[in-house]
């Protein structure tokens, strides 16, 4: 049976370790040999996809792949774990990462590219490691690494605004990690382990677990920029170079969210006492949608508008927390929708930021009212922005629509009219701010502006990501089972 | 073979004038005017009755030619020939449009005569009515235009009433198609039907007290329109009464009404005729007499059988007599126009209606999101349009009120 | 695999693919673009003709793709769907021809024709949708693909009109989405069925059903320009004439009206809807819109704005016919879907000719224009007569069935509304005709025509053809495959109670 043999041989490869080590090695190499940084960076970014496919085939059909680094398993050693949930996030990272890398290759001048490639590969490695970690402390370490890389990338553009934004971001991310670490310490004290599997068995409802949840939740909410902890996000995302903004909005905020999802689904949700926390997170999510969209609507600049849109979209991700199934467990349908939204939002938001970068490069500014007939001069960029915006606003036939439909359906089945109303209102506001910009694409500005050439690749990558977000809306039949297992498996593991 | 020829001929006498009416065709034909009327003349002199059923046209229209229709056809031919002679004397700049309008009305007139059921009749009456409006307006003076305005209000209103009447009839006979004019009227809406039809056709025929447009047009309209008035719109309206109100179906009340109105109209017209012997009062008198006779027929169908057989020649007489007078007296003396025009009472009605209109307008203003009354009423439309836009308004309100009362009753 | 899959996809692709390709065609390659456009339009027409023949002979076409668990993407070509598809395809061909002539020499034509084709694709999708989700998908796609056409002129006024268009239509879309999800959470299906799919719900859900009905109606009512959701339509008049023609006659307003038909008949089922007590208020709303639109039209001096308010009024005939909930009235409403489309597109073509040939935009400038543009104004006159409902133009047939149906259903007040509307229509159309034909031109008159025709032949023929079609649809109402005959076929096949 050659097929079986080859499959088992594939499964035996340590895909997960490769997925972490390759970017990290690449980062070091790119740092050491700046001249080869570009091919290394592109190669490693592109290499993520075949490796991920390999990992996917290995994971398919199992309920998660565990891999003890160096042969030492839990509770002592470092354990990696790959299951459908991590695959969702890893795939998002690989897709968006590749698009952004292609874009950045044309975007950065050589002096900046020299710094960008090592930092980006470092960030990629940290993200992959985060999504593959199986214990709380490793999660903390990778979270910290990711935060530092992200801050460094934010400051890459130089200039006063970028540095201020980066500084604020640094403080927020450090504070968030610290609070999270406190929670981890508390849990360790209570249970004597940091491994997810063991924690699931030992954790009991009580003041310790409740405090730990509170601390970790608050820290991660801060890093995810959940309202009202979003203060750091708009300045940082708006002032960073366009590819970096795309990475931050599409991937980095999702990493801390990933940890929160893991904690919630595997550890805390089965403890009945946490329902109130879920309600609070849901409320904050609703507030984020309304506040973020409203602020986005009022922004005079494209990048700030897109950054506030991220604040609003993060709100949607938190709407699954208050939804519980009849048994008091997390509602699988709602979580499936949220994971779908993570992917859709990452693709669309990256496309939007890249398109905004094109506009900025083209006109030298991103003031909305002064966008000068760009529809005629940058048709691809305009198409990318509009398509991504349509997905963000949750209009059919895009990925955003499917996610919103699934979430609406879950909320309606539980009679949560407050969530439904906020979601619909948020969609309307999102359409409002997207088309506020799109409307100005067509009209001439009061004063003519000096226009600069935008490389074709920058336009095409933005459009490519936007088209992916669009195609996502046609593919739920293929992808949804995967998302189902991504939700069901961690919960099943928690129940055992 | 001859049947086929008859069928094609029936079609042709309607379609051919329409085709010739296109200015492009008209200009390229030798003696276009005579050529346009030729098929009708040929059909007139051939013998025998013809019938053409067209089940797929509108609501199953058909065309038919019998003895009565032949009389009317002949009258129309004569009148239009005369009108064509008149039109040829007009200012060359106006001739083309006048001929086009004359041919449109000709086709409409023949269609109404030949139609074998009410929907077809209504279709062709549109052509005649709006074409005649064009004849009144085109090349006429300010007075003629004022008359035309009255006429179009009458026309719109009457057509609307006929439409509603037809709906009622279709509802009562429970099928949208009519086979002929002898459709059965049953049910409690018969009275309403009769009222609608009567109002509509009496409006169109210009019976007293709504005769203002007829006498006005006879004084002021351009010569071709003046010639056609009696034999065209008025006689066709009377024909409509004959056709649409089948006798012997409990329409005695309508008959009484016709008798009263006819007598009054006849009396009024004769009185006017004695006071000022002008040809324009002859037509109201004739109309009154015919309506009186028709009323008699409705009240007592069996007793009037003797003279009702002569209805077609009588109609022809009504159409031809005023035209003949006008033809002889080639122009109406301008002296008669100095007196108070017969539609003066209409003018006296104006101020209160104006106020009503203003009030209605204010109602509309409150519906508007923004903008003031001045912005709407101050719209810089010239005088004529404003009034045309205004009259149907007032009359609509009254007509709706009437319909409401009718339906409630 | 059903044999219909290929043909249904091809019908969509025949406008989608040319549209996508046209985006990429350089501005100056006019011949290539025109060829693609016309090829797509003709191919679509042939395919639609094929399906018409098939459906008339009992064939059924259905395409089903899995989209969400339990919810498919369904296209189905029934008689009702084909009514709208045929109207869109025929008028698409004519409007494309017209647009080629109208936009000659103006910038950004590739963009224009690209979105134009997308718009038609969305319209055909709306017509063919076999369940509410598919309907919603194409309905929103229609909103998005029309927006660039509304702002095509790239002026500040156009931007604002586009903004207002989006505010209205996207809000409507949100309401439609809310209603759809809610309905799905109750019934677990969204499949259109001849008798509706809500009859299994017990009485405790009636409150929810009434709320859903109004959510859905408000959602489609925005596009159908039901009062008070009509505000976008007169504003959208800044768009070029072919767009106004398409918006007002075919795509947008008709998608809304068609949605009302689907919702009343195939989502709720007319009997359930009547039981819920929602049809009478809907009829009342439609009746009010009819009178209100006509009243507003009376006071517009801008020709296109007057036509726009006339559309507001006329489209509600369809809603009225459906809401009366009798078979004959529904026949009237449905046939008006086609008739109004033919007549209104004629009027807009003519308005476009006036603007393009003589730069006339206001009614007060139209004195004597009939002599300069006899064919254009002839077509205009015919269509205006149809709008008033004068026989034998198409509008008469619609009004006839509406009135008869209302009497049959015991709703006599509708007859009064129709009468009032006819009077108002006459009051706002006849002055235009009077000006055009019987008044002398102001000043020196109009510049003489440059060529053999009164204007470019691409501008002249489409309105003449549509005017002839609206006359034909009324006069030959009973020949096979006439709109009326087809609607009666729909009545026999899809709705109960008509024979």
pLDDT tens-digit series, residues B377-387: 334 444 444 44
Residue C436 pLDDT greater than 70, yes or no:
yes
Q: How much is the pLDDT for B223?
A: 79
Note the helical H segments in B230-377: 235-244, 252-275, 282-299, 305-308, 311-328, 344-348, 350-367, 373-377
Q: Taking CB atoms and an 8 Å cutoff, what residues of chain A touch C182?
A: 412
Q: Do B388 and C431 touch (CB under 8 A)?
A: yes
Q: Is the separation of the CB atoms in B301 and B310 below 8 Å?
A: no
For chain B, list the contacting chains (3+ Cβ pairs, <8 Å).
C
Q: How much is the pLDDT for B342?
A: 47
Q: How much is the pLDDT for B343?
A: 46
- Show the tokens assigned to B229: 């008035």
Q: How much is the pLDDT for B257?
A: 85
Q: How far apart are CA C149 and CA C115, in angstroms?
A: 7
Query: Which residues share a beta bridge with C63?
Result: C75
> Mean pLDDT throughout C461-487?
86
Q: Taking CB atoms and an 8 Å cutoff, what residues of chain B touch C435?
A: 385
Question: Looking at the whole model, is its pTM more than 0.90?
Answer: no
Q: Which of A261-275, C97-111, C332-346 has the least mean pLDDT?
A: A261-275
Q: Where are the strands (E) in B139-225, listed by range?
A: none
Interface of A with C in 462-491 (CB under 8 A): 476-477, 480
Instruction: Pick A428's closest partner by Cβ from C152, C163, C171.
Output: C171
**Domains of chain B by residue range:** 2-330
Cα B319–Cα B321–Cα B325 angle in degrees, nearest 5: 130
Closest-CA distance of chain C to residue B126, Å:
7
Closest-CA distance of chain C to residue B206, Å:
20
Q: Do A444 and C167 touch (CB under 8 A)?
A: no
Q: How much is the pLDDT for A4?
A: 47
Q: How much is the pLDDT for A94?
A: 92
Q: How far apart are CA A360 and CA A374, in angstroms?
A: 11
Residue C181 pLDDT greater than 80, yes or no:
yes
Q: Where are the strands (E) in A75-178, listed by range?
A: 79-82
Q: Is the separation of the CB atoms in A77 and A68 below 8 Å?
A: yes
Is pLDDT larger for residue A319 or for residue B272? A319
Q: How far apart are CA C258 and CA A320, in angstroms?
A: 36
Nearest-by-CA chain A residue for C167: A432
**Chain centroid offset of residue A496 CA:** 29
Span B218-260, pLDDT tens digits? 778 787 888 888 888 888 888 888 888 876 677 778 888 888 8
Specify the DSSP element, H or E, that contains A183: helix A160-191
Q: Is the separation of the CB atoms in C372 and C454 below 8 Å?
A: yes
**Is C431 at the interface with chain B, CB within 8 A?**
yes
Strands C61-68 and C71-77: antiparallel
Long-range contacts of B349-357 (CB under 8 A, 24+ apart): B353/B394, B356/B394, B356/B397, B357/B390, B357/B393, B357/B394
Q: How much is the pLDDT for A52?
A: 87
**Domains of chain A by residue range:** 1-268, 286-496
* Contacts of residue A121, Cβ cutoff 8 Å, sequence gap at least 6: A23, A24, A26, A27, A30, A40, A41, A44, A45
**Treating both helix axes as pointing N-terminal to C-terminal, what angle do A15-32 and A110-132 enclose, rounded to 10 degrees?**
160
Which of B22, B56, B168, B193 to mutate: most C Cβ within 10 Å? Answer: B56
Q: Which of B245-254, C31-40, C161-170 has the least mean pLDDT?
A: B245-254
Q: Taking CB atoms and an 8 Å cutoff, what residues of chain C touch A438?
A: 147
What is the residue-averaged pLDDT of chain B? 75
Is pLDDT larger for residue C85 or for residue C104? C85
Q: How much is the pLDDT for B349?
A: 60
Q: How much is the pLDDT for B172?
A: 80
Q: How far apart are CA A350 and CA A245, in angstroms?
A: 8
Pick the closest to residue A193 from A81, A74, A82 (CA basis). A74
Q: How much is the pLDDT for C481?
A: 82
Which segments of chain A have a pLDDT < 50? 1-5
Nearest-by-CA chain B residue for C378: B22
**Chain centroid offset of residue A413 CA:** 27
CB pairs under 8 A between A and C: 84
Nearest-by-CA chain A residue for C168: A428
Is pLDDT larger for residue A91 or for residue B92? A91
Q: How much is the pLDDT for B248?
A: 66
The Cβ-side half-sphere exposure at C395, using a 13 Å CA radius, reads 24
Q: How much is the pLDDT for C212?
A: 92
> Does chain B touch chain A (at least 3 C-beta pairs within 8 Å)?
no
Return phi, psi of residue B236, to 5°.
-65, -35
For chain C, list the contacting chains (3+ Cβ pairs, <8 Å).
A, B
**Is A13 at the interface with chain C, CB within 8 A?**
no
Q: How much is the pLDDT for A8?
A: 59
Residue B289 pLDDT greater than 70, yes or no:
yes
Residue C187 pLDDT greater than 70, yes or no:
yes
Q: Taking CB atoms and an 8 Å cutoff, what residues of chain C touch B163?
A: 389, 399-400, 403, 419, 422
Q: Do C170 and A428 touch (CB under 8 A)?
A: yes
Closest-CA distance of chain C to residue A484, Å:
11
Pick the closest to residue C237 from C109, C333, C123, C151 (CA basis). C151
Query: Which residues share a beta bridge with C65?
Result: C73
- Show the tokens assigned to C264: 């009343």
**Chain centroid offset of residue A37 CA:** 25
Is pLDDT larger for residue C198 or for residue C259? C259
Q: Is the separation of the CB atoms in A27 and A122 below 8 Å?
A: yes
Q: Taking CB atoms and an 8 Å cutoff, what residues of chain B touch C426?
A: 156, 392
Cβ neighbours of C435 (radius 10 Å): 22
**Is C211 at the interface with chain A, CB within 8 A?**
no
Instruction: Pick B385's closest partner by Cβ from C296, C419, C435.
Output: C435
Q: How much is the pLDDT for B397?
A: 60
**Is C177 at the interface with chain A, CB within 8 A?**
yes
Span B115-153, pLDDT tens digits? 888 888 888 888 888 888 888 888 777 788 888 888 888
DSSP states along A400-412: HHHHHHHHHHHHH
Nearest-by-CA chain B residue for C375: B22
Q: How far apart are CA A483 and CA C292, in angstroms?
A: 51
SS3 assignment, position A108? coil
Span C359-402, pLDDT tens digits? 888 888 888 888 888 888 999 999 999 998 888 888 888 988 88
Cβ neighbours of A364 (radius 10 Å): 11
Nearest-by-CA chain B residue for C414: B404
Peptide bond into B147 cis (omega under 30): no
- Burial string for B394-408 (b: 16+ CB within 10 Å, else e) reads bbbbebeeebeebee
Span C207-257, pLDDT tens digits? 888 999 999 999 999 988 888 888 888 888 888 888 888 877 778 899 999
**Is C291 at the interface with chain B, CB within 8 A?**
no
Structure-token match 């056409």, residue found: C149
Q: How much is the pLDDT for B387?
A: 47
Distances (CA, A) of B296 to A256, B254, B256: 98, 10, 8
Q: Taking CB atoms and an 8 Å cutoff, what residues of chain A touch C147?
A: 435, 438
Q: How much is the pLDDT for C1?
A: 43
Nearest-by-CA chain B residue for C484: B58
Residue B392 pLDDT greater than 50, yes or no:
no
Q: Taking CB atoms and an 8 Å cutoff, what residues of chain C touch B366?
A: none
Q: Taking CB atoms and an 8 Å cutoff, what residues of chain A touch C148?
A: 442
Instruction: Pick C478's closest partner by Cβ from B60, B126, B381.
Output: B60
* Contacts of residue B314, Cβ cutoff 8 Å, sequence gap at least 6: B290, B293
Which of C12, C67, C153 to mutate: most A Cβ within 10 Å? Answer: C67
Specify the DSSP element, H or E, that contains B158: helix B142-173
What is the residue-averaged pLDDT of chain C? 86
Pick the closest to residue A442 from C119, C166, C18 (CA basis). C166
Is pLDDT larger for residue B307 or for residue B321? B321
Residue C168 pLDDT greater than 50, yes or no:
yes
Span B358-369, pLDDT tens digits? 665 565 544 444
């Amino acid at each position: 049976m050659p097929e079986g043999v080859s499959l088992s041989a594939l499964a035996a490869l340590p895909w997960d370790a490769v997925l972490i080590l390759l970017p990290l090695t690449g980062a070091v190499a790119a740092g050491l040999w700046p001249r080869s940084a570009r091919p290394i960076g592109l190669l490693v970014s592109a290499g993520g996809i075949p490796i991920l496919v390999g990992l996917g085939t290995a994971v398919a059909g199992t309920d998660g792949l565990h891999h003890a680094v160096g042969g030492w398993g839990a509770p002592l050693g470092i354990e990696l774990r790959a299951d459908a949930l991590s695959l969702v996030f890893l795939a998002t990272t690989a897709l968006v990462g590749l698009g952004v890398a292609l874009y950045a290759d044309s975007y950065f001048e050589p002096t900046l590219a020299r710094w960008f490639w090592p930092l980006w590969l470092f960030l990629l490695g940290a993200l992959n490691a985060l999504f593959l970690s199986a214990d709380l402390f490793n999660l903390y370490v990778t979270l910290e690494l990711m935060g530092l890389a992200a801050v460094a990338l934010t400051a890459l553009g130089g200039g006063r605004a970028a540095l201020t934004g980066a500084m604020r971001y640094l403080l927020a991310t450090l504070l968030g990690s610290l609070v999270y670490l406190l929670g981890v310490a508390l849990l360790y004290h209570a249970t004597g382990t940091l491994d997810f599997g063991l924690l699931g068995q030992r954790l009991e409802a009580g003041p310790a677990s409740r405090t730990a949840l509170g601390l970790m939740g608050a820290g991660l909410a801060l890093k995810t920029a959940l309202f009202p902890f979003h203060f750091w996000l708009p300045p940082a995302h708006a002032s960073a170079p366009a590819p970096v903004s795309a990475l931050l909005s599409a991937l980095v905020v999702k990493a801390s969210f990933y940890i929160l999802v893991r904690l919630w689904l595997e550890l805390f949700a089965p403890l009945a006492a946490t329902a109130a926390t879920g309600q609070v997170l849901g409320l904050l999510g609703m507030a984020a949608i309304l506040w973020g969209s409203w602020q986005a609507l009022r922004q005079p600049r494209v990048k700030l508008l897109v950054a506030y849109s991220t604040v609003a979209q993060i709100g949607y991700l938190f709407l699954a927390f208050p939804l519980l199934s009849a048994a008091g467990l997390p509602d699988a349908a709602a979580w499936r929708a949220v994971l779908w939204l993570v992917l859709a939002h990452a693709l669309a938001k990256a496309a939007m930021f890249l398109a905004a970068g094109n506009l900025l490069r083209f006109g030298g500014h991103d003031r909305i009212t002064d966008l000068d007939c760009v529809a005629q001069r940058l048709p691809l960029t305009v198409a990318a922005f509009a398509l991504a915006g349509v997905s963000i606003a949750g209009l059919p036939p895009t990925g955003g629509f499917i996610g919103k439909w699934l979430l609406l359906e879950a909320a309606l089945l539980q009679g949560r009219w407050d969530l439904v109303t906020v979601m619909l209102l948020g969609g309307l506001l999102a359409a409002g701010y997207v088309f506020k910009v799109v409307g100005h694409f067509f009209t001439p500005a009061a004063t003519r502006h000096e226009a600069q050439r935008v490389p074709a690749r920058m336009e095409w990558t933005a459009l490519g990501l936007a088209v992916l977000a669009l195609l996502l809306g046609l593919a739920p039949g293929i992808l949804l089972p995967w998302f189902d297992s991504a939700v069901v498996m961690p919960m099943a593991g928690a129940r055992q | 073979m001859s049947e086929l020829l008859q069928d094609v001929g029936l079609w042709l006498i309607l379609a051919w004038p329409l085709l010739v009416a296109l200015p492009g065709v008209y200009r390229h034909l030798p003696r276009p005017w005579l050529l346009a009327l030729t098929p009708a003349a040929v059909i007139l002199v051939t013998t025998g009755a013809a019938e053409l059923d067209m089940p797929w046209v509108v609501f199953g229209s058909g065309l038919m030619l019998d003895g009565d229709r032949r009389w009317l056809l002949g009258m129309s031919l004569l009148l239009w020939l005369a009108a064509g002679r008149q039109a040829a004397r007009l200012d060359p700049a106006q001739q083309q449009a006048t001929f086009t309008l004359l041919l449109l009305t000709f086709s409409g007139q023949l269609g109404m005569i030949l139609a074998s059921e009410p929907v077809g009749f209504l279709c062709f009456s549109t052509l005649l009515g709006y074409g005649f409006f064009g004849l009144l307006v085109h090349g006429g003076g300010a007075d003629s235009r004022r008359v035309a305005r009255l006429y179009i209000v009458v026309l719109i209103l009457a057509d609307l009433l006929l439409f509603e009447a037809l709906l009622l009839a279709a509802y009562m006979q429970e099928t949208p198609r009519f086979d002929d004019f002898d459709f059965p009227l049953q049910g409690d809406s018969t009275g309403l039907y009769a009222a609608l039809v009567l109002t509509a056709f009496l409006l169109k025929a210009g019976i007293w007290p709504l005769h203002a447009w007829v006498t006005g047009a006879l004084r002021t309209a351009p010569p071709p329109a003046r010639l056609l008035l009696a034999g065209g719109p008025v006689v066709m309206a009377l024909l409509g009464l004959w056709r649409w109100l089948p006798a012997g179906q409990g329409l005695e009340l309508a008959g009484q009404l016709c008798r009263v109105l006819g007598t009054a109209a006849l009396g009024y017209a004769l009185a006017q005729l004695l006071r000022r012997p002008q040809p324009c009062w002859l037509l109201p008198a004739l109309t009154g007499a015919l309506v009186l006779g028709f009323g008699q027929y409705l009240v007592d169908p069996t007793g009037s059988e003797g003279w009702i057989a002569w209805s077609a020649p009588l109609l022809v007489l009504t159409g031809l007599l005023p035209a003949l007078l006008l033809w002889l007296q080639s122009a109406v003396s301008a002296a008669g126009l100095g007196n108070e025009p017969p539609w003066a009472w209409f003018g006296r009605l104006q101020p209160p209606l104006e106020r009503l209109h203003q009030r209605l307008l204010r109602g509309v203003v409150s519906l508007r999101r923004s903008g003031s009354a001045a912005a709407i009423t101050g719209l810089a439309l010239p005088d004529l349009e404003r009034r045309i836009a205004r009259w149907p308004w007032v009359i609509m309100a009254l007509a709706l009120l009437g319909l409401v009362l009718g339906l409630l009753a | 695999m059903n044999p219909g899959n290929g043909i249904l996809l091809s019908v969509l692709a025949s406008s989608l693919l040319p549209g996508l390709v046209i985006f990429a065609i350089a501005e100056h390659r006019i011949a290539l673009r025109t060829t693609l456009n016309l090829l797509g339009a003709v191919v679509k027409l042939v395919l639609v003709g094929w399906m018409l023949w098939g459906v008339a002979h009992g064939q059924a076409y259905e395409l089903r793709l899995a989209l969400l668990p339990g919810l498919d993407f369904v296209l189905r070509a029934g008689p009702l769907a084909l009514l709208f598809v045929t109207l869109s395809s025929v008028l698409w061909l004519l409007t494309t021809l017209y647009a080629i002539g109208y936009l000659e020499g103006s910038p950004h034509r590739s963009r224009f024709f690209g979105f134009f084709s997308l718009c038609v694709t969305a319209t055909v999708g709306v017509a063919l949708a076999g369940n509410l989700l598919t309907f919603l998908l194409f309905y929103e796609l229609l909103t998005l693909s029309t927006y660039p056409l509304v702002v095509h002129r790239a002026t500040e006024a156009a931007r604002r009109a586009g903004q207002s268009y989006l505010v209205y239509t996207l809000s409507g879309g949100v309401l439609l989405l809310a209603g759809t999800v809610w309905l799905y959470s109750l019934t677990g299906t969204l499949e259109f069925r001849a008798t509706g799919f809500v009859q299994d719900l017990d009485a405790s859900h009636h409150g929810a059903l009434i709320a859903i009905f109004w959510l859905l109606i408000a959602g489609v009512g925005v596009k159908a320009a039901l009062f008070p959701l009509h505000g976008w339509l007169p504003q959208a008049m800044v768009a070029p004439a072919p767009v106004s023609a398409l918006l007002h006659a075919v795509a947008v307003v008709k998608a809304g009206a068609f949605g009302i038909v689907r919702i009343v008949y195939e989502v709720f089922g007319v009997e359930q809807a009547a039981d819920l007590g929602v049809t009478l208020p809907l009829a009342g709303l439609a009746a009010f819109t009819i009178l209100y639109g006509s009243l507003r039209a009376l006071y517009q001096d801008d020709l296109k704005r007057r036509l726009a308010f006339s559309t507001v009024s006329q489209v509600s005939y369809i809603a009225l016919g459906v809401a009366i909930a009798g078979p004959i009235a529904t026949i009237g409403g449905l046939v008006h879907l086609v008739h109004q489309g033919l007549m209104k597109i004629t009027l807009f073509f003519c308005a476009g000719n006036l603007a393009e040939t003589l730069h006339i935009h206001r009614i007060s400038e139209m004195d004597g224009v009939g002599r300069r543009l006899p064919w254009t104004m002839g077509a205009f006159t015919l269509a205006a007569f149809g709008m008033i409902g004068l026989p034998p133009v198409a509008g008469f047939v619609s009004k006839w069935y509406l009135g008869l149906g209302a009497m049959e259903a015991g709703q006599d007040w509708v007859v009064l509304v129709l009468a009032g509307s006819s009077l108002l229509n006459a009051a706002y159309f006849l002055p235009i005709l009077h000006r055009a034909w019987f008044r002398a031109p102001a000043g020196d008159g109009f510049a003489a025509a440059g060529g053999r025709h009164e204007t470019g032949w691409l501008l002249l023929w489409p309105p003449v053809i549509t005017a002839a079609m609206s006359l034909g649809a009324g006069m030959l109402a009973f020949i096979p495959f006439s709109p009326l005959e087809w609607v009666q076929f729909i009545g026999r096949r899809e709705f109960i109670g008509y024979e």
